[in-house]
Structure 1
Amino acid sequence: MQNRVWAEVSLEAIAHNYRLLSARYRDVAAVVKANAYGHGLVPVARACVSAGATRLCVATLEEGLSLRKAGLSQSVYPLSALLPEEATDCVRADLTPFISSPEFFAAFAAAAKIAPIPARCYLVLDTGMGREGMDSPELKSLRENCPPQVEIIGIATHLSSADEDDLLPTELQLFTFKAITRDWEGLHSVVNSPGMLRLASGGIRRAGAILYGIEPYPGALEECPTLPAMTLNARLTLVKSLPEGATVGYGRTHTLTRDSVIATVPAGYGDGWLRRLGNRGFVVVQGQRCPIVGRVSMDQCQVDVTEVAGVSVGDTVTLIGEGITAAEVAQWAETTAHEPTTLLNSRVPRYYTPSTT
């Protein structure tokens, strides 16, 4: 059966990217949360492990358990705050959570009492993100009263603005972190993808977008040329001629200024294809960029293929790839570069080119 829309993921590109990052920076953790930014949690994690990764970062308990069920024994770090009732499963699966509250720490310590070895964790310091993390007195209290069944292996924080032109807020966060953790032992974790590329900071470096060849900020791939790992394709389902003055799509937001050939791409926001791309995004048909006209609807969008000769039903159209990057799609949609691949849902099958590592 031929697919209406599908993604092709190069595991070799991801393995290459991990090798490149780990050669340039020490202690790189592969961030595979959110279904590996839409690329596929378990296949991507295995590709990274085959390339030498010993640390995998997730967001949720379920993601961590999925890696364990897949047989991956490497260190798995849930980065986001977990619920206290998730602490027992976290300990049983030997996950290493980034802990942001005394409440979860207490639940984690209670669950660890029956563990055969001390349960490991990071404590998260809020240095200005205003999201997860604790203040300095809370960290000090947990450190001084840490029970023997818990091993605090490091302190972490998250940078709010490392992808911005103004690095002063980031430098202030780093200053705060270093001042508070000066006498703390352990391998700390501070930088994300943009921080890794732009800042001289040690500890565990959390490679997210850059691992997938996605620019976390403009010019990032010039500094660290990782390879895009995903191509998103579809097959045209309709090709029709419309006269000058005709309108296209919901709300009649696009009016044709000439007699035109309009093709239907069976990808819409029901697949995770961003609705904001209507009247501003492009796709590639037979090697030529064609504009998306009218609103992107739930199951399809329309493109103007008037300038492309011989377009017919069944032709392959490329939404990401062939010169269109995820970052460019995000720019058209006025969103973060993480969204175009991450939002793709289970209606879009993934096909994998194996890693040769």
Structure 2
Amino acid sequence: MQNRVWAEVSLEAIAHNFRLLSARYGDVAAVVKANAYGHGLVPVARACVSAGAKRLCVATLEEGMSLRKAGLSQAIYPLSALLPEEATDCVRADLTPFISSPEFFAAFAAAAKNAPIPARCYLVFDTGMGREGLNASALRPLRASCPAQVEIVGIATHLSSADEAELLPTKAQCAAFAEATVGWPGEVSVTNSPGMLRVEASGFHRAGAILYGIEPYPGALDECPTLAAMVVKARLTLVKALPAGATVGYGRTHTLTRDSVIATVPAGYGDGWLRALGNCGFVSVQGQRCPIVGRVSMDQCQVDITDVAGVSVGDTVTLIGEGITAVEVAQWAKTTAHEPTTLLNSRVPRYYPSSV
């Protein structure tokens, strides 16, 4: 059975990207949270490990446990704050959480009480993200009260605006982190994808968007030319002629100014294809960009193929790829470059044409 819409993911590109980042920036952790930015959690993690990754970053307990169930033994860091009731499973799965609160630290220590080896964790220092992390006054008392069954292996922070043109806030965060961690033993981790490329920082880097060939800020790929790893395709389900003056889609938001040929692409926001692309996005049809006309609906969208000859039902069109980047899609939709691939859901199967 042929699919209506699908994604092709190059694990070779991801492995290449990891090796490139490691060669340029040193100690790099592969960020595979959110289903590896939509590329596939376990396949991507395995590809990165095959390329030398010793650290994998996730967001949730479930993601970390999925990697353990898949047989991956590398260090796995849940980056987001976990609930206290998740501490026991976190210890059992030998995950190394990034801890942002005394409450979770206490639950983690209690869960580790009878563990055969000390449970490892990072403490997170809030340098200005304001989302998670401990304040400076809480860091050292927490470390001082650390029981024997817990090993604080390092300290981390998260940069709030390293992808912005103005770097002063990022440099201020780095300075605050350095001041708060003077004499702190163990590892440190400061930078995300844009920070890794733009500021000097010690410790290991957390490579997210750049690992997948997604530009975290304008010009990033000029500095570090990683390869795009995903192509998204669909097969046309309808091709029909409409006269000038006809309207297309919900709300009649697009009126044809000429006799036109309109094709239906079976991808909509029910697949994670952004609704905001209506009347402003494009897809590639026979290598030519064709505009999305009308609103993107739950299961499909329409494109104007009037200027492309010989298009038929069943033909393959490209939503991301063939010169259309995830960054461009994001710009059309006025959103972050992370969304176009990450939002693709389970209704869009992932295929891995070859293995690493």
Identity among equivalent positions (%) equals 84
Partners of 2:290 and 2:140 in 1: how far apart? 58
Correspondence 1:167 to 2:161: no
Query: Does residue 264 in structure 1 map to residue 261 in structure 2?
Result: no
Could you tell me which residue of structure 1 aligns to residue 291 of structure 2?
291
**Counterparts of 2:116 and 2:307, CA distance in 1:** 68
Q: Distance in 2 between matches of 1:95 and 1:176?
A: 28
User: What secondary structure does 2:66 align onto?
Assistant: helix
Give the Å deviation of 1:354. Answer: 3.0
* Offset from partner CA, 1:157-185 (integer Å, 9 cap, x none): 00000000011111110110000001101
Specify the code of the residue in structure 2 equivalent to 1:81. A
Unaligned runs of 5+ in 2: none
Q: Which residue of 2 aligns with 1:135?
A: 135
Q: Which residue does 1:339 correspond to in 2? A: 339
Alpha-carbon contact 1:15-1:355 (below 8 Å) kept: no
CA distance in 2, matches of 1:316, 1:354: 20
CA distance in 2 between partners of 1:315 and 1:353 (Å): 20
Does the 8 Å contact 1:212/1:227 carry over to 2? Answer: yes
CA shift digits 1:82-127 (9 cap, x unpaired): 0000000000000000000000000000011111111100000000
SS at match of 1:64: helix
Give the Cα–Cα distance (whole angstroms) in 2 for the partners of residues 269 and 194 of structure 1: 28
Question: What does residue 71 of structure 1 align with?
Answer: 71
Residues 238-268 of structure 1: per-residue CA shift (max 9 Å, x gap):
0000000000000000000000000000000
Cα distance between partner residues in 1 of 2:125 and 2:202 = 16
Distance in 1, matches of 2:131 and 2:190, equals 15
Partner residue in 1 for 2:313: 313
Could you tell me how far apart the structure 2 residues matched to 1:355 and 1:165 are?
A: 37
If the length of structure 2 is used for normalisation, what is the TM-score?
0.99
Give the gaps of 5 or more residues in structure 1.
none
Residue 355 of structure 1 deviates from its aligned partner by 3.5
Q: Deviations over 1:186-210 (max 9, x none)?
A: 1101000000000111201000000
Query: What code does the residue aligned with 1:220 have?
Result: A
Contact 1:247 1:254 in 2 (8 A): yes
Match for residue 48 of structure 1? 48
Task: Map 1:156-195; keep pairs closer than 5 Å.
Answer: 156-195=156-195
Structure 2: which amino acid aligns with 1:278?
G
Structure 1 segment 1-357 matched on structure 2, within 5 A:
1-356=1-356
Q: Deviations over 1:41-94 (max 9, x none)?
A: 000000000000000000000000000000000000000000000000000000
Provide the rounded CA distance (Å) in 2 between the counterparts of 1:118 and 1:342. 35
Q: Indicate conservation of the 8 Å contact 1:267/1:273, yes or no.
A: yes
- Partner SS for 2:226: coil
Q: How far apart are the structure 1 equivalents of 2:355 and 2:332?
A: 32
Deviation of 1:279 (Å): 0.2
Letter in 1 for 2:54: T
Question: Does the 8 A contact of 1:233 with 1:318 survive in 2?
Answer: yes
2:287 maps to a residue whose letter is: G
| Matched letter for residue 77 of structure 2 | Y
Q: In 2, distance between residues paired with 1:24 and 1:114?
A: 41
- Residue type of the alignment partner of 2:248: V
- Aligned equivalents of 2:261, 2:202: Cα separation in 1: 55
Contact 1:262 1:302 in 2 (8 A): yes
CA distance in 2 between counterparts of 1:136 and 1:333 reads: 39
Opposite residue 316 of structure 2, the aligned amino acid is T
Instruction: Please identify runs of 4+ aligned residues in structure 1 that moved more than 3 A.
Output: none
Provide Cα deviations, 1:305-334, integer angstroms capped at 9, x if missing partner.
000001100000000000000000000000
Give the CA RMSD over aligned residues: 0.5
Mapped partners of 1:201, 1:174: distance in 2:
8
| Letter matched to residue 305 of structure 1 | I
Q: Distance in 2 between matches of 1:204 and 1:83?
A: 25
Which string of whole-angstrom CA distances, capped at 9 and with x for unpartnered residues, describes residues 212-234 of structure 1? Answer: 00000011000000000000000
Distance 1:166 1:300 in 2: 39
CA contact (8 A) 1:125 1:177 kept: yes
In structure 2, how many angstroms separate the alpha carbons of the residues matched to 1:100 and 1:235? 46
The amino acid across from 2:80 in the alignment is S
Which stretch has the larger CA shift, 137-146 or 95-104?
A: 137-146
Contact 1:12 1:353 (C-alpha < 8 Å) held by counterparts:
no
SS of the residue corresponding to residue 302 of structure 2 reads strand
Assess if the C-alpha contact under 8 Å between 1:274 and 1:296 holds in 2.
Answer: yes
- Superposition deviation, residue 353 in structure 1: 2.7
Write the distance in 2 (CA, Å) between the matches of 1:176 and 1:136.
9
